[in-house]
Amino acid sequence: MDLYQSAKEEIKRTVDIVELIGQFVQLKRSGQSYLGLCPFHSEKTPSFTVSPSRQMFHCFGCKKGGDLFAFWMAYHQVSFPQALKDLAEKYHVSLPEKDPGPPGIKDSILRVNEAAADFFHHILTKSGKGKAGRHYLEQRSIPGEIISEFKLGYAPDEWDGLARALREKKISPETALQAGLLIPRKTDGHYDRFRNRVMFPIFDMRSRIVGFGGRVLDDSLPKYLNTPETPVFQKGELLYGLHVAYSRIRESGRVVIVEGYTDVLALIKHGFRGAVATLGTALTRDHIRKLKGYAREAVVVFDPDAAGTAAAMKSLPLFLDEGMPARVLSLPEGDDPDTFVNHRGLEAFQALLERSVPMFDFFIERKMTDGEKDIERQVKVLEDIFPVLAELKNHVQRALYVKRLAEKLQVTEKALAAEFQKWAAKGPRVPDRPRTSEKKEAKRMDEVYLLNLLLHHPAAAGRIRDLDWKTLVSDPGITEMVACLLDKGAGQGTAQEEILAGLSSEETQQAFREAMLSPSIFTEEEVDRALRDFGEKILRIKIQDSVAQARVRGDFETYHRILKLKKEREVQPRINGNSQEGI
């Protein structure tokens, strides 16, 4: 990758990491850094930090971090060469010419998907074999421009239509098999997975076709068939339409989640580009985590039948756990977003959006509506609702829902609150954390202060180097970090990258990123005082060690002389303005 070092450096000079990550995570300024909810793990309080000055990100929760390449690799699940290629293309940085060699499995699957999409789209728009598909889309009022934009297609009612087309393009059937487009016969050869289906290509956030959803046009089952899981297609993480909707979602702060591909397309046809759909699956934690990067709240639109209602209710704990506000839009009986917006127009749909209700309210109303009036049934309602109540970290919000529940069940609020506390007390106990001795904690703080001073005030490196600083530091990780900083320089840019790359373990690298992104403890005016305090602290430790060694040797003359010197100096550590008891 040395060949690409200059391109890598140019990308780093060109790209602002805050702007790049801000395309996928909602960031808010906090001091000199930016904070957001981590896209790599579940959290309600932001611990994901991006530093514009250091051009680095780090999550204080899951410990994932690094530069803009590390973010792109982790978020898009690609290798470094692919990240370099993607970012060079995105920010118009030229890469040196080089024989790319044979493509990797992901690249191969993406290429065969593109070829298959071309085939399906041609059949739909140009071939007599696509008549059934065109008729279906006409019935759904999907116009030609939407068909072109989303590259909709049709898989002909043939066993090997795609297989033959791929052979003509000299595409290996093994690659098409890995892409989930073909199925091996019991004898020799392969046959098409998708037959007599309207085809909906599934795009990732880089507008690459990673898989397909196919809607059957007869009574065959399943009604919808997806590409199986492949190295580029995980349906529990992908959302249909997000690649075109994310900018509108970010502008409005709201994402509308619908059930079907045609729901998304019908809304787009009417000018609403803020909707996405799952791929025939229930909402997952990964879906919600991805959407949190673009939206402040979600509105879930499910079909008003029993299955749709059940799906909406099952998603509530996920939204609560991810800390994302969610609402539910109820459509009239017999309607889905596609039919509703085509028959009544976008204004009517937007009016329903404004009347959507908080998902927790919807959950309680449904539970109460479904329940009977007998006592046993009401107790069962509580058993269903208490676990959801427990997910609410906002105590005021929880108290309001307890009050509403009490009114619904016609019991006193006090009795219901007591019953909830009793239920909550049955949960698993968290063992007490072992206490760290005050002396060890104080020493640990000295080490952290020294590292912080060196990182934020690199001009002090010379004076720290002159101190016998290792006397003060016992943590191997901090020892390694301070030594690297003094050796390579405490500045930013290349030295920072060299230090990170040179640290011996991932744990030490995580700790170094956290130290770099932590605010400075000392002001410029306090640096000189802090260095003097460190010096006296080190001298104090040396005196203590000398006393102990003289005592072990039985050299009581030296022992008493050092004790006298110690008393005369009255050494008192003053780091952080706290005096501590002498030795």
For 341-376, what is each residue's pLDDT tens digit?
999 999 999 999 999 998 888 887 777 776 555 677
Which domain-ending residue is among 90, 120, 155?
Answer: 90
Residue 432: inside a domain: no
46 shares a domain with 20? yes
Residue 148 bridge partners (DSSP): none
User: Which CATH number does the domain housing residue 209 bear?
Assistant: 3.90.980.10
76 and 40 together in one domain = yes
Are 262 and 354 in the same domain?
Answer: yes
Distance of CA 405 to the CA centre of its chain: 34
Boundary-marking domain end, from 90, 118, 135? 90
Cβ–Cβ under 8 Å, residues 196 and 156? yes
- Same domain for 186 and 296: no
Which residue carries 């994310």 as its tokens? 246
**Domain containing residue 58:** 2-90
Residues 401 and 499 in one domain: no
Q: Over the range 419-453, which residues count as b (16 or more CB within 10 Å of their CB) and which as e?
A: bbeeeeeeeeeeeeeeeeeeeeeebeebbbbbbbb
Q: How high is the pLDDT of residue 370? A: 63
- Is 341 inside any structural domain? yes
pLDDT for 141-177, tens place per residue?
999 999 999 999 999 999 999 999 999 999 999 999 9
Is 122 found in the same domain as 33? no
Domain count, the chain: 5
Same domain, 153 and 256: no
Mind listing the pLDDT tens digit for each residue in 497-540? 778 878 888 888 888 888 888 888 888 888 898 888 888 888 87
Q: Is residue 112 part of a domain?
A: yes
- Distance between CA atoms of residues 543 and 552, nearest Å: 14
Residue 505 and residue 384 in one domain? no
pLDDT in tens, 286-326: 899 889 888 999 999 977 666 767 777 788 888 887 878 89
Does the residue 310 lie in any domain? yes
**30 vs 549, higher pLDDT:** 30
Give me the percent of the chain exceeding a pLDDT of 70. 86
Please indicate, yes or no, if residue 96 is contained in any of the structural domains: no
Q: The domain spanning residue 275 has which CATH number? A: 3.40.1360.10
What is the reported pTM?
0.72
Q: Are residues 450 and 569 in the same domain?
A: yes
pLDDT at residue number 276: 97
Does a structural domain hold residue 433?
no
454 and 568 co-located in one domain:
yes
Residue 366 lies in a domain: no
Q: How far is CA 241 from the centre of its chain?
A: 19
The helix or strand, by DSSP H or E, that contains position 35, with its residue range, turns out to be strand 33-36
Residues 442 and 573 in one domain: yes
Closest CA to 194 of 232, 220, 230, 233: 220
Residue 445 pLDDT greater than 50, yes or no: yes
